[in-house]
Amino acid sequence: MMRIASKLTAIGAMAALFAGLSVATPAQADCDGCGAGIAAGIIGGAMLGAAIANSDQPHYYRRCWIEHRAIYDEDGDYLGRRRVRVCR
C-alpha cells in the first residue's frame, strides 16, 4: 500500500509538471477557440490527479478492537483474562 507521504509527493510532482508545461508553452495572440483546449487540460489534470490520489484506496476499511478473553489451563481452571486484538 502506498503511504500518504508518497501519495502527496506524487500529487505535488504531477501538479508541478502540469504547471510547468502550461507556463512553458508560448501563447498565441490570435488563438480563437483555445478556451476548449485549456478547459480540457485543466479537467484532464484534475482527473489524473484524482486517479493518482485514489489509486491505492481499499474498498473496505477493517474495524479492529480489543477484547478481553478468559484463559484456562489444561484442567479447565480459570487463570485470568488477557487482551486480544480482533479485526474484521
Task: Show me where the domains of the chain are located.
Answer: 4-53
- Is residue 21 within 8 Å of residue 45, measured between CB atoms? no
Structural element, H or E, at residue 13: helix 4-24
- Please give the model's pTM, rounded to 2 decimal places: 0.33
pLDDT tens-place values along the chain, 88 residues long: 456 656 667 776 777 666 666 655 555 656 666 677 777 888 888 888 777 777 665 666 778 899 999 999 999 999 999 999 998 8
